[in-house]
A and B are shown apart, each in its own frame.
Chain A
Amino acid sequence: MKRREFLRRAAPVSALPFLVGGLSMRAYGRSPLLEALLASSTASDRVLVIFQMNGGNDGLNTVIPLDVYSDLAAARSNILIPEGLVLPLSGTAATGLHPAMSGMRAMYDDARLAIVQGVSYPSPNFSHFRATDIWLTGADYNQELGSGWVGRYLDEAFPGFPTGYPNTVMPDPLAIQIGSVLSTGLVGTHGPMGMAISNPNSSYILPGGSDLAPDTPSGHELTFIRNVAQQTQIYTTAVKDAYARVNNIATYPTSSLANQLKTVARLVGGGLKTRVYVVNIGGFDTHSSQTDSTNHELGNHANLLGAMSGAIAAFQEDLAQLAVDDRVIGMTFSEFGRRIKSNASGGTDHGTAVPVMVFGKNVQGGVFGSSPAIRTTSGNIKDNLDMQFDFRQVYFDILRDWFGSSPTQLQAVLGTPRFALPQGPLGIISPSAVADVPGDGAVPREFSLLQNYPNPFNPTTEIRFELPRAASVLLEVFNAAGQRVGVLAEGERSAGVHTVRFDASSLSSGLYFYRLRAGGFVETKKALFVR
């Protein structure tokens, strides 16, 4: 029986204990056998830090489209950032950053920042609450999902959790929310997959900080229950120890976000194997007084962006100093962008598409996509920005190329791609990091040949196959007439997931077949090349 099968059978859903949302977890039924089985896998030590910018960030004043600046000026003169103050980015004249974002500009110039333009989803929702749920769960506009996309990823990567955890391979929380409430994004299909920490030295959350209970009978009982609640948290020691192991080296600005990131840097630097961290920065709901009324480069939004950029740059520097920057990428997102046209109160109302930024040493720097169209083809200022990328494309890249999720796992996390993927994989993760992608450690259960991706394609696509054991393989491509047009893989391959690239640029449009032979296994699938 294969490891994952065993785990799935050993941990029936009905036996899963419930976890108090973000507050407590208990070790249930630790089993040496399970631990031994788990220990046979190779764990990824890669980390994703998610920055949620609550309120809906005004992308047009964050990532400023210099190539359509005059359109922008026409749409939002009362909050327009003076062109001369926009921070230019090396290698592109089309795009600049808000003047407050010098820290992130330097990261961009250092090829450590990817800016993905125009991220949204079909039929965007303008409600903060609903839009946030969509981003966190990965749902379609008309779909309700009870679990988060990260939660489902962790479900896949750590089957059976929390039964059998912590263990020697994963002794630490799977995910950590810096703050008091576990993000919906970290809820898996069977319950919370992470814990919330506001202060690593006291990992139990006392809402409202450290208000002491009064010296009365009710205060006495309240203190008792708080103590018990704290005791239920099994990861307290691991978190405290990691936090105590290293100190921050870089100098951070003073802000709530910086404090959250200081904690993350120490936990990563201190050796926690936690995969995902979530931090939050609020206040982006800038309906009015978004900028200073005369100096538009100043004001509320500038302060927020400045705080964010400064904190992220310091965080990146800290990670480098702590020699863990190889392991960490970050992703910022907001539930929506804002309107193209500003309103009369010097602000912007709820909008649609918004840039997503991904950063880190192993990120493929650059701008993905183009500056947004401000005017319609007939020349009028548009109401809302068009989508260039579905947000789940970004998740897809991170899951596949950073965490090494297999096609099966991607299917479980993101479902059958319901969203348009016109450009195929974005390529946010640097090729060298993709090449080293560790996989989730799980050896495939059976031989399989996966559908190529993207499909249809032009002119290249990727084909994956899974080997449960080392085998001699032959992967060939045939045209519709049955003639062999290429060999994509041949010879001995190790157990695991393999990806090959099929470049059809020298071929004509049409239907192709690709066939895998491996250890007695044969399967053929179709791929459609549309030039």
Chain B
Amino acid sequence: MKRRELLASIVGESDPAASTPIQSVDQSPSISRFANSSLPNVQRTTAGMEPYTGVWGTEQILHLLRRTTFGVTRADFTTLKNKTMVQAVDLITTVPPDELTVPLIYDASDPAGSPGSTWVNGLTNVSSGSRLNSLKAWWTNLMLNQPLSIREKMVVFWHNHFVTEFSSLPDPRYAYRYLALLRKNALGNFKQLAREITFDGAMLRYLNGYLNNKNAPDENYARELQELFTIGKGPQIGDGDYTNYTEQDVKAAAHVLTGWRIYQNPDGSVGLQTSSFDQTRHDIGNKNFSYHYQNATIVGGIDGAREVDELLGIIFLQPETAKFLCRKIYRWFVYYVIDDWTELNIISHMADTLRANNWNVLPVLKELLKSAHFFDTVNMGCMIKDPLGLTLGTCRHFGVSFPPSDVVQQYSMWNYLWSTASSIGMNPGDPPDVAGWKAYYQVPQYYEIWINSDTLTKRASWTNRMVSSGYSSSGAKIVIDPLAFVLTLSDPSDPNRIIDEAAQYLLAVPLTASQKTFLKEEILIPGLPDYEWTIEWSLYLSDPTNTTARNAVTNRLRALLMFLMQMPEYQLM
């Protein structure tokens, strides 16, 4: 069910983007009763968009990595330690060329080929679940093994912005093309992406664009294009008037968008071109817009693409369009509360940068990530990890080894991570509806949507599993190696150093002295003086092949890691 249908079935029209709570959704049992009932009134920073000039140390490096990747790795951390802040941000925002791999078949029953071959160029339209699983597993791996780059975070950002739901598409080949489009434009031009997504086969299908013809225009895409994808919907200030556009504008845009069809190559394959224009289905009359769009008129004709460009031109002429996107970027990378000060000093500034750079998002990201605002300690540790950040991040923190080459084994593991994320509320490829994940728009809970008594228990049980038995499938196993992790720390013979460094690396909020004492005296070496750890550690080091000595320290480290990852602090980033 699409968001609109769902909401309409409950309360009629409602508004995910406006700043008032949506009462109907507040009743949802999936929202914890402890979640915000109004936006929190907590201390914010007044550090603005001026370049950050403060300390560039471990805290700042970790903060940057936590927010721009799906989890800190030792390697990325080490790389950035040798860079200045400016170099670090430049590195992260310089995307390496995307050697776009293709998802492979790993289900032997797929008629299109054997495991290890791809299905994306195949002629047959097989909408089997295994292809969708293949696509999602493949995507999961791109995120899991991302290079030191913000790209993967931005791909999911755009997916959450220009939403399609893969399981609603009849053909996963279109989902692959859609992802390729997002990847190509991940740090590119917002306006260009809005244009290309309009003609994307997956989007045409998802929001019924392919059914939109002059005789009975389908307004679905025309509405979401404005409400969710570009200018955003403001409070309703009159009959059919949503501050930034009106119902008239929805209708006019729907007429502009008539005539587009999903395209398949004559041989049945899906190529780079996924749509075509059928002028016989296009409304050639003039389209008149409201006062919000300066009463603009688009002259009708038989060049559908020209009319779409003019439509986007009108929408992107409005200052609100830049602000709308910048608020989403802010909530994706910084925090969900945008108070008056932040709106005035941060959002407006970002929007100015976006427009001054002709809708290229890269300068906006660079400026934000280099700002005093971003690095202010008040903005650290205040995001709740989304399910991908938890699952992928946990594997990345500990450098969990995945099967090196066997396709079936690899895809099984990636699929497992994806389905774990899905079981705690985030199914990449299939957001709950066209508005994306509620954690990024639902007033006033926002990120707190991710955590309730069910998902928190599942999160902890999953991290427990990864640090104990691990997950086995198809003859392969993924598991956290506590010993390998601790060996990357500066002095594993010192229990205090282990706790200091593990806590700093794994937790985005600093622990208090009493918490650290607790971790040492209750978890790592209960009831024992520090030197006993040192002795046990040296026993292990003196003979690393001795199973008993190794298990003795491994079991203690496992208990420590298990507890650290059960701490509420671990859910923050």
Interface segment among A82-90, A213-221, A260-268, A487-495: the answer is A213-221
Residues of B within 8 A of A225 (CB): 384, 451, 456, 568, 571-572
| Given contact pairs A217-B337, A228-B34, A24 touches B457 in the complex (Cβ within 8 A) | yes
Given the known interface contacts A211-B514, A231-B32, the answer about A217 and B40 at a Cβ–Cβ threshold of 8 Å is yes
Q: In the complex, what residues of B have CB within 8 A of residue A232's CB?
A: 453, 456-457
Closest to A126 in B: B539
A76 to chain B, nearest CB (A): 21
What residues on B are CB-neighbors of A18 within 8 Å?
457-458, 461, 464-465
Closest chain-A Cβ to B153's Cβ sits at a distance in Å of 20
Q: Which residues of A contact B465 (CB under 8 A)?
A: 18
* Interface-facing stretch out of A282-290, A469-477, A508-516: A282-290
For A179, the closest partner residue in chain B by CB is: B522
Q: Is B44 an interface residue (CB 8 A)?
A: yes
CB distance from A78 to the nearest CB of B (A): 20
Q: Is the CB of B335 within 8 A of A217?
A: yes
Which 3 pairs across A and B sit closest by C-beta, in order of nearness? A54-B527, A282-B527, A18-B461
Q: Which of A19, A208, A216 contacts B515, CB < 8 Å?
A: A208
Chain A residues, Cβ within 8 Å of B556? 129
- CB within 8 A of B382: which of A127, A218, A229, A281? A218
Please give the distance in Å from A529's CB to the nearest CB on chain B: 39
Q: Is the CB of A218 within 8 A of B512?
A: no
Interface residue B59 (Cβ < 8 Å from any Cβ of A): no
Known contacts A181-B559, A231-B33, then 12 further A-B pairs from the complex at CB < 8 Å, ordered by chain A residue:
A17-B461, A20-B464, A129-B552, A133-B552, A133-B555, A208-B517, A217-B337, A217-B382, A221-B447, A231-B453, A282-B527, A285-B529
Task: Say yes or no: A215 contacts B42, CB within 8 Å.
Answer: yes
Which residues of chain A come closer than 8 Å to B291, judged between CB atoms?
none
List B residues 195-228 near A (Cβ within 8 Å): none
Question: B451 is contacted by which of A23, A228, A282 (Cβ under 8 Å)?
Answer: A228
B371 at interface, CB cutoff 8 A: no
**Is A280's CB under 8 angstroms from B527's CB?**
yes
Is the C-beta of B452 less than 8 angstroms from some C-beta in chain A? yes
Taken residue by residue from 546 to 559, chain B's Cβ proximity to chain A (1 for < 8 Å, 0 otherwise) reads as 00110111011001
Considering the complex, give the chain B residue whose CB is closest to the CB of A230: B34
Are B34 and A216 in contact (CB-based, < 8 A)? no
Known: A216-B378, A217-B379, A221-B448. A181 touches B522 (CB 8 A): yes
What are the residues of chain B within 8 A of A17 when measuring CB–CB?
Answer: 457, 461
- Provide the residues of chain B in CB contact with A281, threshold 8 Å: 527
Secondary structure of the B side of the interface?
Answer: helix
Residue of A128, A209, A216, A231 touching B528 (CB-CB under 8 A):
A128
B25-45 vs A, Cβ < 8 Å mask (1 yes, 0 no):
000000011111000101110
Q: Do the beta carbons of A222 and B451 come within 8 Å of each other?
A: no
A221 to B514, alpha carbons, bound, how many Å?
20
- B112 in the interface (beta carbon within 8 A): no
Q: How far is the CB of A222 from chain B (nearest CB, A)?
A: 6
A227: interface (CB < 8 Å): yes
* A interface residues, Cβ below 8 angstroms from B: 17-21, 23-24, 26, 52, 54-55, 125, 127-130, 133, 142, 144, 146, 179-181, 207-209, 211, 215-222, 224-229, 231-232, 280-285
Name B498-552 residues within 8 Å CB distance of A: 508-509, 511-519, 521-523, 525-529, 532, 536, 539, 548-549, 551-552
- Whether, in the assembled complex, B6 has its beta carbon less than 8 Å from a beta carbon of chain A, the answer is no
**CB atoms of B548 and A54 under 8 A apart:** no
Which residue from A21, A216, A219 sits with its C-beta under 8 Å from B566? A21
Bound state CA distance, A215 and B42, in angstroms? 6
Contact indicator B548/A125 (Cβ below 8 Å): yes
How many angstroms between the C-alpha atoms of A227 and B456 in the bound complex?
A: 11
- Whether B381 pairs with A218 at a CB distance below 8 angstroms is yes
Q: Is B454's beta carbon under 8 Å from chain A? A: yes
Q: Which residues from B are CB-within-8-Å of A208? A: 511-518
Q: How far is the CB of B15 from chain A (nearest CB, A)?
A: 25
B460 within 8 A of A: yes
Q: A20-B461, A218-B508 are in contact. Are A224 and B35 (CB under 8 A)?
A: yes
Per the bound structure, the CA–CA distance linking A212 and B356 in Å amounts to 44
Q: How far is the CA of A521 from the CA of B449 in the complex (A)?
A: 61
25 contacts between A and B (CB under 8 A): A18-B461, A19-B461, A54-B526, A54-B528, A127-B536, A129-B556, A130-B548, A130-B555, A133-B552, A181-B522, A207-B518, A207-B522, A208-B512, A208-B513, A208-B514, A208-B516, A217-B40, A217-B382, A218-B382, A222-B572, A225-B571, A228-B32, A228-B34, A280-B526, A285-B532
Known: A18-B461, A231-B34. A226 touches B382 (CB 8 A): no
Task: Give bound CA distance, A425 to B452, whole Å.
Answer: 50
Give the interface SS of chain A, mostly helix, strand, loop or mixed. Answer: loop
- Total inter-chain residue pairs, C-beta < 8 Å: 173
Question: How distant is A338 from chain B, measured CB to nearest CB, in Å?
Answer: 13
The residues of A that contact B310 with a CB separation of less than 8 Å are: none
- Judged by a CB distance under 8 angstroms, whether B567 is at the interface is yes
The answer, among A19, A54, A216, A229, for a CB contact under 8 Å with B43, is: A216
Minimum C-beta distance from B29 to chain A (A): 13
Find B551's partner among A52, A130, A180 (CB 8 Å cutoff).
A130
B380 close to chain A: CB less than 8 A: yes
Q: Are A207 and B451 in contact (CB under 8 A)?
A: no
The distance in angstroms between the C-alpha atoms of A20 and B461, with both chains bound, is 6
User: Which of A21, A181, A221 is close to B572, meaning CB atoms less than 8 Å apart?
Assistant: A221
A216 vs B45: C-alpha distance when bound (angstroms)? 10
The 0/1 profile, CB within 8 Å of A marked 1, for residues 103-142 of chain B is 0000000000000000000000000000000000000000
Contacts known (A129-B555, A282-B526); A217 close to B34, Cβ less than 8 A: no
Given contacts A17-B461, A54-B526, A221-B447, contact A227 B512 (CB under 8 A): no
Q: Which residue of B lies closest to A54 (CB)?
A: B527
Considering the chains assembled together, what is the distance between the CA atoms of A207 and B569 in angstroms? 11
* CB–CB A219/B42 < 8 A: yes
A226 to B448 Cα, complex, angstroms: 12
| B472 CB, min distance to chain A CBs, angstroms | 14
User: Quick one: which of B1-55 are within 8 Å of A by CB?
Assistant: 32-36, 40, 42-44
Residues of A within 8 A of B379 (CB): 217
Measured in the bound complex, the distance between the Cα atoms of B527 and A105 in whole Å is: 25
Could you say which residues of chain A place their CB within 8 Å of the CB of B468?
A: 146
Cα distance A19–B566 in the bound complex, in angstroms: 11
**Known contacts A18-B464, A220-B40, A231-B34; is A283 also within 8 Å of B562 by CB?**
no
Closest beta carbon of chain A to B572's beta carbon, Å: 6
Q: State in angstroms the CA–CA spacing of A224 and B555 once bound together.
A: 31
B527 touches A283 (CB 8 A): yes
A231 contacts across to B, CB distance below 8 A: 32-34, 453
A20-B464, A54-B526, A285-B528 as given contacts; A228 in contact with B452, CB under 8 Å: yes
Our pick among B34, B42, B513 for the contact of A227 (Cβ within 8 Å) is B34
B563 on interface, CB distance cutoff 8 Å: yes
Cα distance, A370 to B28, chains bound together (Å): 67
Q: Is the CB of A226 within 8 A of B555?
A: no
* CB <8 Å contact, A20 and B566: yes
| Among A144, A224, A226, A280, residue most surrounded by chain B Cβ atoms (within 10 Å) | A224
* Distance A282 CA – B370 CA, assembled complex (angstroms): 49
Query: Known contacts being A127-B552, A229-B568, A285-B529, is A220 close to B384, with CB within 8 Å?
Result: no
**Minimum distance in angstroms from B335 CB to a CB of chain A:** 5
What residues of chain A lie closer than 8 Å to B335, measured between beta carbons? Answer: 217
Q: Which chain A residue lies CB-closest to B40?
A: A220
Interface residues of B in 378-436 (CB under 8 A from A): 378-384
Closest to B458 in A: A18
Please, which residue of chain A has its CB at the minimum distance from the CB of B469?
A: A146
CB distance from B569 to the nearest CB of A (A): 6
Given contacts A181-B522, A285-B528, contact A215 B382 (CB under 8 A): no
Chain B nearest CB from A225 CB (Å) reads 4
Contact in complex: A180, B34 (CB < 8 Å): no
Contacts of A21 in B (CB 8 A): 460, 464, 562-563, 566
A166 to chain B, nearest CB (A): 16
Are B32 and A24 neighbours in the complex by a CB distance under 8 Å? no
Q: Contact between B452 and A207 (Cβ–Cβ < 8 Å)?
A: no
Cα-based distance from A125 to B539 in the complex (angstroms): 13
